[in-house]
Amino acid sequence: MGTRVVLLPGDCIGPEVAAQARRVLDALPIELEVDERPFGAGALRETGEALPDETLVACRDADAVLKAPIGHPDFDGASVRPEQGLMKLRSELDVYANLRPAAQGDIDLLIVRELVSGIYYGASGTREDGTVFDTCEYHPSEVERVARQAFAIARTRGSKLASVDKANVLETSRMWRRVVTEVSAEFEDVELEHILVDNAAMQLVQFPQRFDVMVCDNMFGDILSDEAAAITGGLGVAASASLGDSGPGIFEPVHGSAPDIAGQGIANPAAMLRTVSLMLAHGLDEHEQAEAVDRAVTTALERAPTPDLGGTATTAQFGDAVIEALS
C-alpha cells in the first residue's frame, strides 16, 4: 500500500483552500493517494456527528491527515459543534505536540504547544449555586513527552528552549517547570530558559528575535502562538502540525473557516499550502518537496496576493502561481 493522506475539506472556505492543496499535491513528483472524508459541519448535518466513525478509522489508517478549517455559524452556541469533532480527532490520534512556526525577516521561532490535556480537556461544569468551573490538570508524563519533543526540535535549530509557565501562581505550572528541568538533563547541549507567560507575551511583542523554540501548555500555547502569528504576517498565512509518538499527524491551517467570504473564490490558500509543506516534512519525510512548496508559496505571496493582502488574485490564481513556481 502506498502513501495515503486523508483530506478533510472542512467548512465554508475550507473546500476552496483544500482544492488548492490537492492541486499542489498532484503537481509534486511523488506518489500519494488522497482520500477525502466528511468532517465538520457538513458531516454533522448528514450524520449527526462532526467526526463520523468511518472518517476516524480512515484517519487512523492514514500516513497523514490534512485538514482544512472547520466551523459554521449555523452551529454557534449549539450543544454539538463542528469543533468538538476536532477535539476528539486530536485526542483519538493522541497528537500531543502542536508545532506552530512563525517566521518573518529576522524572526524565526517555533512554538510547541501541548495539545491533548490541560484546561481544554479537564473537568468543567456548573454548580447549584451558579458557580462555573474549568479544571486544568496535567500528569507529569504528559509534560515530559511534550518537553522531550521540544528539546529534540530545539537541538535541530538554535539549541535554545524557552519553557513558558505561571509557576508563581499555579500548581500545574510548578510541576511543569520541575519536569521540564528534569528532561533538560538529557539535552545538555540545549540552553533552557524558564519564563512566566505574561513576560513571554510581552517579550514576543518587543523582542521576538530572542526566541528559538518555546514550549507551552495547551492554553498558554494557544494564546502565544496566535500572538506570534500576528507579528509575522497574521493568521491568514500561518500553518500548524500536530504530532504524536506514532501514527499519523494532523496538519491544518491556523485560521478559521471565514463564512463571510465563502463561495466568493477570494480566500487566501497560503496557510493551507504552508500546511502541506509541514505535512511533507513532518508527516511524510519528504523534506525536499516540503522546502520546494514553502518556497513556491513565498513566491506566490509576492506575485499573486489575494485581496486580504492587498492584491486581486483569486484562490485558484494563487494556486496557479504556486504550481508555476514549482515547475
* 95-115 burial code (b ≥16 CB/10 A, e <16): bbbbbbbbeeeebbbbbbbbb
Grid cell, residue 134, equals 474549568
> 117: which DSSP letter?
S
Q: Choosing from 120, 121, 160, 320, which is the catalytic residue?
A: 120
Q: Choosing from 61, 74, 134, 198, which is the catalytic residue?
A: 198
Q: Which of 188, 152, 146 is CA-nearest to residue 164?
A: 146
Whole-number Å distance between alpha carbons of 249 and 220: 21
In the residue annotation, 212 being an active-site residue is answered as no
For residue 297, the SS3 value is: helix
In the residue annotation, 165 being an active-site residue is answered as no
Q: Which of 23, 18, 20, 16 is CA-nearest to residue 6?
A: 18
CA–CA distance from 131 to each of 77, 79, 124, 141, 225 (Å)?
Answer: 20, 20, 11, 31, 30
Whole-number Å distance between alpha carbons of 47 and 93: 21
Task: Name all contacts of 73-79 with Cβ < 8 Å and 24+ positions apart.
Answer: 73/259, 74/41, 75/41, 75/44
- CB-side neighbour CA atoms (13 Å) of 282: 29
Q: Choosing from 94, 108, 226, 320, which is the catalytic residue?
A: 226
In the residue annotation, 26 being an active-site residue is answered as no
Whole-number Å distance between alpha carbons of 101 and 229: 8
In the residue annotation, 260 being an active-site residue is answered as no
The sheet carrying 213-216 orders its strands as 33-36, 4-8, 64-67, 249-253, 239-243, 97-104, 107-114, 213-216, 160-165, 191-196
For residue 205, the Cα-to-chain-centroid distance in whole angstroms is 21
Q: Which of 260, 79, 221, 66 is CA-nearest to residue 138?
A: 221
Grid cell, residue 251, equals 496538519
Catalytic site positions = 120, 166, 198, 222, 226
